[in-house]
A = this chain, B = another copy of it.
Amino acid sequence: MTVTETLDQIHSLVTASELEALSELVAETSSPDIADMLYRLPPVDAAVVYRLLHKDKAIDVFERLDSAAQADLVTELAETEVVGVFEALDPDDIVGLLDELPAKVTKRLLRTLSPRQRTATAPILGYPHGSIGRRMTPEYVSARAEEPVADVLVRLRRNADSYETVYTVPIVDDARVLVGICSLRDLLVAYEGAIIGDIMELPASVRTLDDDELAARRLVDSGVLALPVVDNEDRLVGLFTIDDAVRIIRAEDDEDAARTGGTEPLRRTYLLTSPFAMTKSRITWLLILAISAILTINVLQIFEDALEEAYFLALFIPLLTGTGGNTGAQAATTVTRSLAMNELNPRDTWKVAFKEIRTGFLLGLALGSLGFALATLVFGMDIGAVIGLTLVAVCTMAATVGGLMPMLATVVRVDPAVFSTPFISTFADATGLIIYFSIAKAILGI
């Protein structure tokens, strides 16, 4: 049975209130598959399914959902049910969930936290949004260099059930300064009688105020399961785990993909989003772009005389502005992605400019030669020259501006993805038209 078929079946069972059959179906399905389904079901259906889950399975499923889906579900559940869920959650997941909920609900839920949970979540809530401090878990098992490996294994065993990760053990000194790291694997293979200091490795770490996206990419690149989080004095304050890193990266990539296309990421799955919600996620950018495109009308009005005298120049407008837009979008996409991967930083602006000028010129040369040849064949040599030269100039300009826009966005602390494709095409349109008509006036003498 495919997921879609199961979803249809669940929906009809919920609608018909056939809770027994639904309960059986739910019992037969594994937690990851249930989580997948809850994510795709309308919140009301999801809550019905969720209530039918066995308690342990319910917690397991809840932990697999992202914060937005968790928030949707919590909003549907009764307060007593929510308290049960909260009891089993890790502190960083509680914080992630509270961030997603309306302030009113958050306030009410904070009161339901147990004293232990309140102590654990308080430090995390103190760090700014977008920082690693907000995404770390403050609950972990640490060790000292002089401790026997066997003792640490016993401690891990005792805490394995309640802590988010037991696979990474940070090592600290008397001042809680991070001095090393051990994986559970290292502990398991250590020879009998070994002390932690014999087997620990140099730690890679992140700082509480580090940007969460960069830290997440770093964790994923490093191939470990968790990175220790330290404060400005290198004192250990938490662990940043791979599952949280993957969630951060996915959310960022989602946002980048959406913004590159001039829209905001959807809060729910595509099929659950209404045309009104969809319109809302797109209209702002479309309006901004349409209003800035009025600039192209103004530019063309400047050249109204030329257009009146040689109306056939209009034939090439979509081709030329389109090519400029595409060239700019290519450069912007490449640079935006490199910025996201931390391959570039604002100090590289001149290198980017120089590389894009050369790349744009090479692209313009290739397209311009072709354009010159084709246009000369059909429309004659002078029009061929106008088209060829315009393509060279437009490609060089568009690649350079397309590459620089995301760099500029970083400097002024705006998401580079916002600046890339949509903006550059409007800019390339206006500038391309000026270049085109200037060259045409010069060559055709109009």
Q: Tell me the A residues contacting B by CB distance below 8 Å.
A: 4, 30-33, 35-36, 40, 63-64, 156-157, 160-161, 166-167, 184-185, 188-189, 202-204, 218, 220-225, 242-243, 246, 249-250, 253-254, 256-258, 260-263, 266, 269-271, 273, 275-276, 278-279, 282-283, 285-287, 289-290, 293-294, 296-297, 300-301, 304, 307-308, 311-312, 314-319, 321-323, 325-327, 329-330, 332-338, 341, 343-345, 347-348, 351-352, 355, 358-359, 362-363, 366-367, 370-371, 374, 420-422, 425-426, 429-430, 433
A223 touches B204 (CB 8 A): no
Q: A31-B204, A161-B189 are in contact. List 13 more A-B contacts (CB 8 A).
A: A32-B218, A160-B188, A253-B253, A260-B421, A269-B338, A271-B351, A275-B359, A282-B327, A301-B315, A317-B317, A318-B430, A322-B325, A322-B426
B290 touches A319 (CB 8 A): yes
Instruction: Return the chain B residue nearest A247 by Cβ.
Output: B220
Name A188's contact: one of B157, B203, B225, B323 (CB within 8 Å).
B157
Kindly provide the distance from the CB of A156 to the nearest chain B CB, expressed in whole angstroms. Answer: 7
- Contact A343 B312, CB 8 Å, known A222-B64, A327-B286: no
Name A261's contact: one of B161, B293, B332 (CB within 8 Å).
B332
Instruction: Return the chain B residue nearest A242 by Cβ.
Output: B242
Write out the residue numbers on chain B whose beta carbons fall within 8 Å of the beta carbon of A242.
Answer: 225, 242, 246
Write out the residue numbers on chain B whose beta carbons fall within 8 Å of the beta carbon of A4.
Answer: 345, 347-348
- A to B CB contacts below 8 Å, 25 in the list: A30-B202, A31-B202, A32-B224, A160-B185, A167-B167, A167-B185, A253-B257, A257-B257, A257-B260, A258-B334, A260-B421, A261-B421, A279-B363, A282-B327, A286-B330, A289-B322, A293-B318, A294-B374, A296-B318, A297-B316, A297-B318, A301-B315, A318-B430, A329-B421, A329-B422
Q: When chains A and B are docked, how far (Å) is the Cα of A343 from the Cα of B203? A: 39
B333 touches A261 (CB 8 A): yes
Write out the residue numbers on chain B whose beta carbons fall within 8 Å of the beta carbon of A335.
Answer: 270
Name A326's contact: one of B167, B285, B344 (CB within 8 Å).
B285
Q: When chains A and B are docked, how far (Å) is the Cα of A249 from the Cα of B257? A: 14
Kindly provide the distance from the CB of A290 to the nearest chain B CB, expressed in whole angstroms. Answer: 5
B300 touches A318 (CB 8 A): yes
- Contact A334 B367, CB 8 Å, known A275-B355, A318-B321: no
